């Protein structure tokens, strides 16, 4: 009998197929004791396993390319973290085997982060996956990973680590469902990049029996167990309609009555550019430069290396707009040369612009590199600072840009509620705003963006979040300046219409989402978008807001 479950849809499309479950490794090794004479040998085994796993993650990243490569390289850094390895060595020295030492050291690190309220605690899938891979190698058991199958299937897992998500074969994995995770987790972001329908934060999905036929709607978050023939036909018809609309849609983003809404791409570096160009992106709305810095956590990349990377992206969009976010380090992206190591809660500490203002040489080098990278190019360069809290922050950033000789527009990201509340004040110092809805929701609702248990509060349809977006857009309009959205909210086609109705002037998203958003925007007038936005803000919950907006746009 058909039953319906509801999770969080994070990647558009419909997948219908049989369930396959993610394979797991033996997670907990036996607590066997070794002698003092065996300690050096075991420490060597542990180091070899760690190096092998790190190399494997880097190799997987190189195969996957794009944003997946940056994510996996960051995960490899977790494997080789010096403090973790020092703890492993200490545990082996007092009698643990290599595998038990690794297991216990990772467990202690995980507990320490969670107990301290560490923002990085949300990356538990990443941390657990690295541990499992090292322990599996030491025990000589199969690595955790995607099941072998000759036939296409829908994958169900407790959570998916980036190493697995990055190499999913869309020809075999029709879609995936996880019990944990959130809409802005690594798996969700990579699913959108792959174009694989996906649902996260769906408790109980793991109880669905292997081989059961399910239908996954990655747009709504609905999962249908043993769907009827009528439901399958309905979903397939909706998917075919969306595909036809995508094929017919091209050109710049705009509503049906000609109101322009530039559709831009989020990129992490040059490897992400081809997909953005192919999707018809009108430029880059968020160039995440931190991935370049994550290559070596000990020191910042040289000015020359930065120039080369930036120029490759700028050259890809002649006459287009490229918005660069300066280094956003801290919290879940710590850098040894920049990030304090003793903060009790890094998400609320020295992060983003705060960190750069404490290290003006790093900021100056980056701004100088951007200035030189843009020389002689017809690109419209814009540079923005992350984690701007008030006018003082905005002025400090604008002053630094001018001192570096940067000929570009200077902007501020609205990720902290205070920035939305005082947007007009901030706009006295900068020329544009860009809303980072992922972090703005996190700070507005005190809900870690990586924890599935609070994903309800991370839903970008939350009316309170829409209020903060509206305040920012209204302030920008009053000052005659622009206000874009570069958070994952922009990738939801229906929400993109609401954001347009709120007064947002551009939308930036993963390249795979651009055709969906373009086709949906083209179906409605600006007035319809404005009415949908008003209806969503009048609701009392995210679900009510979504339903209200849909009702307005469908003419109900």
**Which residues are the active-site residues?**
186, 486
Strands lying side by side in the sheet with 198-200? 3-6, 222-225, 213-217, 14-21, 153-157, 173-178, 198-200, 8-11
Which value, to the nearest 10 degrees, does the dihedral of the CA atoms of residues 139, 107, 20, 154 take?
-140
Q: Which residue intervals of 94-158 are DSSP H helices?
A: 98-115, 124-139
What's the first-to-final CA gap in the chain, in angstroms?
A: 31
Cα angle: 470, vertex 417, 357; to 5 degrees:
125
3-state secondary structure of 427: coil
Cα–Cα distances in angstroms (integers) from residue 548 to residues 76, 94, 456, 504, in the given order: 44, 62, 18, 19
Structure tokens at 550: 């849909």
Angle between helices 493-502 and 526-537 (to 10 degrees): 90
The two counts, helices (H) then strands (E), for the chain are 23, 16
Contacts of 154 (CB under 8 A, 6+ apart): 15, 16, 17, 18, 19, 20, 173, 174, 175, 176, 177, 214, 216
Q: Please report the DSSP string for 340-386 in residue order.
A: -S--S-GGGSS-THHHHHHSHHHHHHHHHHHHHHHTT---EEEEEES
């Amino acid at each position: 009998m058909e039953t319906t479950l509801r999770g969080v849809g994070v990647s558009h499309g419909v997948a219908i197929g049989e369930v396959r479950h993610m394979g797991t490794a033996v997670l907990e090794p036996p607590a066997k004791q070794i002698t003092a004479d065996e300690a050096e040998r075991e420490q060597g085994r542990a180091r070899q396993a760690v190096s092998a796993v790190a190399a494997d993650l880097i190799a997987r990243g190189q195969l996957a390319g794009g944003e997946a490569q940056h994510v996996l390289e960051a995960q490899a850094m977790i494997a080789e973290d010096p403090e973790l390895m020092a703890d492993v060595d200490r545990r082996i020295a007092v009698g643990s085997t290599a595998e038990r030492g690794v297991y216990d050291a990772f467990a202690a690190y995980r507990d320490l982060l969670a107990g301290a309220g560490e923002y990085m605690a949300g990356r538990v899938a990443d941390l657990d996956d690295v541990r499992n891979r090292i322990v599996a190698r030491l025990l000589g058991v199969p690595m955790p990973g995607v099941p072998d199958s000759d036939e296409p299937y829908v994958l169900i897992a407790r959570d998916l680590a980036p190493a697995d998500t990055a190499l999913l074969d869309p020809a075999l994995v029709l879609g995936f469902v996880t019990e944990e995770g959130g809409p802005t987790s690594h798996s969700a972001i990579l699913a959108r990049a792959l174009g694989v329908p996906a649902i996260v934060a769906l408790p109980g999905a793991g109880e669905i029996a292997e081989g059961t036929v399910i239908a996954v709607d990655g747009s709504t978050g609905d999962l249908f167990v043993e769907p009827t023939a009528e439901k399958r036909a309905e979903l397939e018809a909706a998917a075919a309609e969306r595909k036809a609309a995508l094929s017919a849609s091209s050109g710049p983003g705009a509503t049906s009555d000609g109101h322009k809404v530039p559709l831009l791409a989020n990129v992490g570096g040059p490897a992400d550019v081809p997909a953005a160009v192919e999707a018809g992106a009108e430029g880059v709305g968020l160039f995440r430069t931190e991935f370049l810095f994550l290559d070596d956590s000990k020191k910042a990349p040289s000015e020359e290396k930065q120039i080369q990377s930036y120029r490759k992206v700028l050259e890809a969009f002649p006459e287009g707009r490229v918005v660069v976010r300066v280094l956003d380090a801290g919290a879940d992206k710590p850098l040894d040369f920049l990030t304090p190591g003793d903060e009790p809660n890094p998400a609320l500490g020295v992060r983003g612009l705060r960190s750069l203002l404490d290290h003006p040489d790093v900021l100056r080098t980056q701004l100088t590199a951007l200035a030189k990278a843009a020389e002689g190019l017809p690109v419209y360069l814009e540079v923005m600072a992350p984690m701007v809290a008030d006018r003082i922050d905005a002025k400090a950033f604008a002053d630094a840009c001018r001192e570096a000789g940067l000929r570009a527009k200077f902007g501020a990201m609205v990720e902290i509620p205070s920035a939305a509340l005082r947007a007009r004040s901030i706009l006295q110092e900068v020329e544009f705003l860009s809303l980072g809805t992922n972090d703005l929701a996190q700070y507005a609702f005190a809900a870690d963006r990586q924890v599935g248990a609070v994903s309800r509060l991370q839903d970008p349809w939350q009316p309170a979040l829409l209020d903060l977006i509206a305040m920012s857009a209204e302030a920008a309009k009053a000052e005659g300046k622009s206000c874009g959205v570069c958070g994952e909210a922009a990738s939801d086609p229906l929400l993109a219409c609401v954001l347009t109705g709120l007064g947002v002037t551009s939308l930036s998203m993963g390249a795979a989402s651009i055709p969906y958003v373009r086709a949906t925007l083209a179906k409605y007038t600006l007035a319809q978008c404005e009415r949908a936005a008003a209806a969503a803000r009048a609701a009392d919950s995210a679900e009510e807001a979504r339903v209200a907006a849909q009702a307005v746009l469908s003419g109900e």
